[in-house]
Amino acid sequence: MSPERVADLPLMAFAFGVFALLLVAREAGGWLNRRIARAADDAARETADESFILSGVLGLLGLLVAFTFSMALHRYEARRAIVVAEANAISTAHMRASLLDDPARGQLTSVLHDYAKLRLRYGEVNARGKSAMAGEVAASQAAIAKAAIAGLRPYRTTQMYAPTIASLNEVLDVGVERQALIAARLPPRILGVLLLYAAVSALVLGYVLAGARAQHRFAAALLFALLTLAFTTILDLDRPQSGAIHIDQKPMRDVVAALRD
């Protein structure tokens, strides 16, 4: 299966798949150890060498997981911050448009109110819903631009023109930036390499612990469960509004409520 398809799996299916992959890799490592003949008098020396290698492999795996988690968390924080920025931009543009005279005031405040409600719905739906709304969002942004050109034409020589047009431009710019941030996902190849390295680490673990007591097998399963939880959390952070971790839309809800009042 390609990394792109793995990244789009349901979270529960992804978690079960990762855990099963690690368990199979561990058993494969034990089988490989048993297939390789070793001299009895070299066992103690080789065990020490293998333990050193295992520590290095697991340490590097921890670093890779930490770096990937940091990337996913950074994208999540950027998406959360852009919701606040867009809510502020719409609120500011609406306030400045309210200072104009009719009909420009009525036209601009109306399209901004409709746009705020649309952006709230956009933030609450999953990735498939966002794709379905792309045409509606583009049409609403075009309506804002059209209303701005027509409504602000009489104000070109006044002091109201520059700040009002700047606010409307910011609404459109932040909207495009928000859509780009939502579309920006962790590169699937990074996730694929991380899973491959985790499987190799489980293979080495199984090789080193081949023939170990039952509690070592349980400890390995617990380690795999923790790794699976980490991988699933990374994938969840990278899926806005489609997993257990959502981007809070309260700033946009507050703006919609304020514009309604």
**Residue percentage of the chain with pLDDT more than 90:** 44
Q: Do residues 130 and 182 make contact, with C-beta atoms less than 8 angstroms apart?
A: yes
The stretch 118-129 carries a mean pLDDT of: 87
Highest mean predicted confidence (pLDDT) among 39-43, 82-86, 178-182: 82-86
Q: Quick: pLDDT tens for 225-251.
A: 999 999 999 988 888 767 778 888 999
| Residue given tokens 């609406």 in the structure block | 94
Highest mean predicted confidence (pLDDT) among 63-77, 124-138, 205-219: 63-77
Our measurement of the distance from residue 29's CA atom to the centroid of its chain's CA atoms, rounded to an integer in Å, reads: 33
**Largest Cα–Cα separation, the chain:** 95
Can you give the pLDDT at residue 31?
83
**Residue percentage of the chain with pLDDT more than 70:** 89
CA-closest candidate to residue 112, choices 162, 161, 151, 155: 151
Asked which of 31-35, 163-167, 195-199, 253-257 is least confident by mean pLDDT, the reply is 31-35
Return the structure tokens found at 73: 């968390």
The stretch 25-34 carries a mean pLDDT of: 84
In the chain, which ranges are continuous DSSP H helix? Answer: 3-7, 11-35, 43-97, 104-124, 127-132, 134-152, 161-183, 188-208, 214-237, 250-260
Determine how many CB atoms are found less than 10 A away from the CB of residue 185. Answer: 17
DSSP character for 42? G
Can you give the pLDDT at residue 40?
41
Angle at 246 between CA 193 and CA 236, to 5 degrees: 15
Can you give the pLDDT at residue 47?
52
| Residue given tokens 């200072």 in the structure block | 99
The stretch 43-51 carries a mean pLDDT of: 55
| Nearest 10 degrees: Cα torsion 72, 241, 258, 150 | 90
CA-closest candidate to residue 144, choices 180, 122, 170: 170
Q: Which amino acid makes up residue 73?
A: L
For the chain, the average pLDDT equals 85
Delimit the domains of the chain by residue range.
Answer: 45-260
C-alpha to C-alpha distance for 10 and 16, rounded to whole angstroms: 10
Report the b/e string of 56-78 with b at 16+ CB within 10 A. ebbeebeebbeebeebbeebbee
- The band of 39, judged by pLDDT with boundaries at 50, 70 and 90, is very low
Q: Quick: pLDDT tens for 157-204.
A: 888 888 999 999 999 999 999 988 888 888 888 888 999 999 999 998
Q: Taking the CA of residue 158 as centre, how many other CA atoms within 13 Å lie in the half-sphere pointing to its CB?
A: 11
C-alpha to C-alpha distance for 116 and 125, rounded to whole angstroms: 15
